[in-house]
């Protein structure tokens, strides 16, 4: 059943890629930077971590990948909230539109209640099954020009699973006619084991390390 489900998810992502790629390029002027090692030898599955600027990020980031890289990681699992600060999003969730999107893309829903470890369990299980998971460590959408604090989720996932981490930086710049979108796909990495030693239960050192990696890539380009 898992293989069948993943095959269906891969087809949905492939259709998304073929349709959304030209559509996104109508509204966005996209500039991508890809580390050569990621193209040369991409890991079969990965924990993709990225800063978060838009509700469209979970689709823009995969669809703007080169096709061979997209196929390598597809299908990609990502997280979705079940409660929002926006009344419009809460309404869309209550009438079933957002849950339908979650169903189509097999989104890992984050419940409002429960401990951090309980909320992370589905992500850990997906990584152990060899799936690629996209995770936004800031926990919410951040304003342009600001990189938020990384919460412990991505660090805990890195500690629980030795899956390679692919760091990604995304930034938007609003123009007169089209919004510019800059995406930097970084080299696969793993967290040095010594960082986990004597780190506190909230993985402050590891979270800071991962944030620094994204910050290095999150440069402003005109």
DSSP secondary structure of 186-210: ---B---HHHHTT--TT-HHHHHHH
- Here the tokens at position 129 are 């099954």
Q: What is the dihedral sign for C-alpha 96, 99, 105, 106?
A: negative
- Residue 14 has what pLDDT? 96
Q: Looking at the structure, give the CATH architecture of the domain made up of residues 2-217.
A: 3-Layer(aba) Sandwich (3.40)
pLDDT in tens, 50-78: 999 988 999 999 999 999 999 999 999 99
pLDDT at residue 4 greater than cutoff 80: no
- Residue 69 has what pLDDT? 95
- Residue 32 has what pLDDT? 93
pLDDT at residue 189 greater than cutoff 80: yes
- Residue 1 has what pLDDT? 40
């Amino acid at each position: 059943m898992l293989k069948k489900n993943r095959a269906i998810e891969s087809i949905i992502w492939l259709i998304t890629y073929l349709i959304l790629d030209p559509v996104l390029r109508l509204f966005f002027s996209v500039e991508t930077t890809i580390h050569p090692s990621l193209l040369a030898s991409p890991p079969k599955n990965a924990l993709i971590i990225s800063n978060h600027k838009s509700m469209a990020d979970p689709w823009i980031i995969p669809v703007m990948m080169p096709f061979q890289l997209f196929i390598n990681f597809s299908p990609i699992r990502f997280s979705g909230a079940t409660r929002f600060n926006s009344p419009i999003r809460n309404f869309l969730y209550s009438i079933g539109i957002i849950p339908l999107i979650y169903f189509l893309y097999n989104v890992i829903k984050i419940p409002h209640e429960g401990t951090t470890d309980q909320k992370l369990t589905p992500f850990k299980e997906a990584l152990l099954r060899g799936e690629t998971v996209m995770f936004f460590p800031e926990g919410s959408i951040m304003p342009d020009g600001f990189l938020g604090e990384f919460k412990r989720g991505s660090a805990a996932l890195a500690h629980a699973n030795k899956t390679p981490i692919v760091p990604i930086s995304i930034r938007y710049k609003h123009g007169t006619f089209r919004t510019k979108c800059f995406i930097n796909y970084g080299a696969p990495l793993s967290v040095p084991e010594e960082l986990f030693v004597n780190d506190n239960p909230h993985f402050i050192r590891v979270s800071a390390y991962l944030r620094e990696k994204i910050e290095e890539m999150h440069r402003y380009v005109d």
